[in-house]
């Protein structure tokens, strides 16, 4: 009887087999943000900042994947204005993107970019990095901070990848589903949900929404997540609530706004816009948004009411 039941299960078409459970929203009674709120915040920040040029090449890759013309809405001169942006940069490998993301942890953009450039200059190939002593890798990336930890993480990624796949390449991820990609990347020691989400969004052109410090603090401030939320639960909630087609632009804009707006910096004592303390500023000093009031003030008031 048991063997017969097992045979019947094997004969079922794959579409009929039970799928893996979808991760549940940890805050099902917290109904924000709505799609309308997400679009409004995206439009307001796009009108204020224009689309951030540091992310333009990734945006081009996404639109190219969809077969669309690369355009920039807003441009910092008001809603509705559209201009064509041709970046034309070669798409980097997924392994390059993963290592770049590892080096970006707990440091500034400038320092992480220097660390990656230094690593690639010292070691022309990933095979050279794998063969190198850990101390040599540390020396190459020291300007990015946490060199021993990051060097060990990079070395582990390369070692595991060679053992499992026989070559130092992650391009096979392009053929996998999002859940399969998350499972593969999460096998590497030191690679957490935010790093995985960044690789998905920037290097695999998937609709995902990484939650870094900037996004996390603004999301709490404008009431998109409970004030008691932690970063991992915020990631699950926001990915459930934000429409896929808005995730990339909205994430890039919230990150940029968090760095530039003096009202939306990291706060521990208050979730109200406009209240910050110098001792609680981020490593990257916030700069006032150019010539306009913070458009998130209205959302702050709504979130606190």
Catalytic residue numbers read 194
Q: Which value, to the nearest 10 degrees, does the dihedral of the CA atoms of residues 126, 128, 134, 137 take?
A: -70
Question: Distances in Å between the alpha carbon of 124 and those of 29, 127, 154?
Answer: 51, 9, 15
Tell how far CA 153 is from the center of its chain: 19
Which long-range contacts link 58-64 to residues 24+ away (Cβ below 8 Å)?
A: 58/201, 58/202, 58/203, 58/248, 59/248, 59/249, 59/252, 60/85, 60/86, 60/87, 60/88, 60/89, 61/91, 61/205, 62/205, 62/248
Q: What are the tokens at 52?
A: 């951030």
What is the 3-state secondary structure of 81-120?
A: CEEECCCCCCCCCHHHHHHHHHHCCCCCHHHHHHHHHHHH
Cβ-contact 221, 273 below 8 angstroms: yes
The enclosing H or E element of 72 equals strand 71-73
Q: Which of 256, 253, 254, 262 is nearest to 286 (CA)?
A: 262
């Amino acid at each position: 009887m048991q063997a017969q039941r097992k045979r019947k299960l094997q004969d079922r078409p794959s579409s009929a087999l039970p799928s893996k459970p979808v991760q549940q929203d940890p805050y099902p009674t917290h109904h924000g943000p709505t799609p309308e709120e997400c679009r409004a915040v995206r439009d307001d920040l796009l009108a204020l900042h224009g689309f951030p040029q540091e992310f333009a090449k990734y945006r081009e890759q996404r639109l190219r994947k969809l077969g669309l013309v690369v355009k920039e809405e807003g441009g910092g001169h008001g809603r509705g204005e559209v201009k064509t942006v041709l970046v034309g940069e070669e798409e980097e490998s997924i392994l390059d993107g993963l290592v770049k993301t590892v080096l970006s942890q707990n440091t500034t953009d400038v320092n992480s970019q220097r660390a990656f450039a230094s690593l690639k200059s010292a070691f022309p190939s990933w095979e050279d990095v794998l063969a190198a002593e850990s101390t040599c890798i540390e020396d190459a990336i020291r300007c990015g901070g946490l060199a021993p930890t990051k060097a060990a993480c990079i070395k582990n990624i390369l070692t595991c990848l060679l053992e499992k796949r026989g070559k130092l390449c992650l391009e096979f991820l392009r053929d996998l589903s999002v859940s399969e990609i998350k499972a593969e990347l999460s096998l590497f020691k030191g690679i957490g949900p935010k790093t995985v989400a960044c690789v998905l969004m920037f290097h695999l052109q998937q609709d995902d929404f990484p939650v870094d410090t900037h996004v996390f603090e603004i999301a709490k401030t404008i009431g998109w997540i409970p004030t008691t939320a932690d970063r991992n639960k915020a990631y699950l909630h926001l990915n459930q609530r934000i429409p896929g087609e808005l995730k990339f632009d909205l994430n890039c804009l919230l990150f940029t706004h968090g760095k530039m707006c003096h009202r939306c910096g990291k706060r521990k004592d208050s979730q109200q816009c406009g209240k910050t303390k110098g001792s609680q500023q981020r490593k990257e000093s916030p700069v006032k948004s150019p010539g306009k009031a913070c458009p998130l003030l209205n959302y702050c008031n709504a979130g606190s009411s």
